[in-house]
Amino acid sequence: MTPLLDPSKIHDIWLPFTERSKLFSPIPQENLIQGSAVKLNSNALELHDGRKIPFDFAVVATGTKSSLKSTAWTKSQGLQDAEELCAALKKASNIAIVGGGQVGVELAAKLCSELPNTHVDLLHRSSTLLSKMAGMNDAARKKILAVLQQFPNITIRLQDTIVNSDIPRKDISFERCLLHTQSGNQINADVTILTTGNIPNSKFVADGLGKSVLDQNGYVRTNPDGSVEGFPHIFSAGDISTLDSVKLAHQAVNQAEIVSKNISVLIEAGYFGQNDIQVGKLKLQKYSPAQKWLARVNLGQLGSVMKIWFLVIHSKK
């Protein structure tokens, strides 16, 4: 979230595609293709410009999108977007954040810390913040609420959300709006940010393999060995898969290792998606979901709250 109020930091986190060799040095440059996937078929991937990439095996790792993830294709556009957002936030007298999950809570704490003269309204449908965050318990949620309420420039509205339909339906809106809430309150917001959850980038998967490969939330149904249900030669890993409800980077790394090893096993066995080899008899590794014993939420200048097993710790700055 650092680039929100300091766009210069985007230079540290944005790697242009022209510098891809820094990350993918073992892969020949001609095998790195820039494009937007529009349809994943059982044996080829279709791109936005009409190109089709045939494959024997595929790995879907397109992650999720949220209001705070840039969709820019270039570093310059990403920097421009960050500067526009930063200027709007610093100019705002009141900012409304809709959604009290981890992103909404940490964003609210950051804005309250760094913009002390700006009022922040945080709205959440549930009776408790972080109601769907993996690894949380009631004691940690209550502690986080109590710490967050120490900010003098925040109003937390639980069991409440926006109901008026005449506001811009954007993840981030810079238009001044009068927001009407479910409980009958009105909020004059200079900036409105929706943090109501991540959306899987999975439409191109359903368009090719069918909607049945997605669960009710749009995540790719994934077997413990990393393969997509019904397609032993197509794998899924990271935030987009159902392998783990805990969406953390180190879990994605573990999933990637298992997927790469299992693809190697299939190749050595001579399976390429079209023959009669019984995949179920092969010794494929299985992914074990993360233990939900640890959770941590950053609360800006008020420190952070960590839950370790049943212990809740408030670490102050």
* Burial group, residue 48, by CB count within 10 angstroms (0-12, 13-18, 19+): exposed
- Residue 85's pLDDT is what? 87
Could you report how far apart the first and last alpha carbons of the chain are, in Å?
18
**Which amino acid is present at 22?**
K
Domain ranges in the chain with CATH number 3.50.50.60: 35-66+199-281, 93-197+293-315
pLDDT digits (tens, 9 = 90+) for 210-268: 999 999 999 999 999 999 999 999 999 999 999 988 787 778 899 999 999 999 999 99
Q: 225-252: string of b/e by CB count within 10 Å (b at 16+)?
A: bbbbbebbbbbbbbbbbbbbebbeeebb
Q: Are 102 and 279 in contact (CB under 8 A)?
A: no
Residue 42 pLDDT: 93
How many CA atoms lie within 13 Å of 16's alpha carbon, on the beta-carbon side? 8
What CATH architecture is 93-197+293-315? 3-Layer(bba) Sandwich (3.50)
Query: Residue 273's pLDDT is what?
Result: 63
- pTM equals 0.83
Over the chain (317 residues), the average pLDDT of each successive run of 10 is: 70 66 68 90 96 95 80 74 88 96 95 96 96 90 97 97 75 88 94 89 97 96 96 95 85 93 92 68 88 87 93 91
| DSSP for residue 298 | E
φ and ψ at 37, to 5 degrees? -75, 135
pLDDT of residue 65: 85
What's the longest Cα–Cα distance across the chain? 67
61 in Cβ contact with 236 (< 8 Å): yes
CATH number of 35-66+199-281: 3.50.50.60
Q: Which residue carries 């009776």 as its tokens?
A: 127
Query: Among 251, 316, 263, 238, which residue's Cα sits nearest to residue 289?
Result: 251
| CA–CA distances in Å: residue 37 to residues 33, 49, 123, 201 | 11, 9, 34, 10
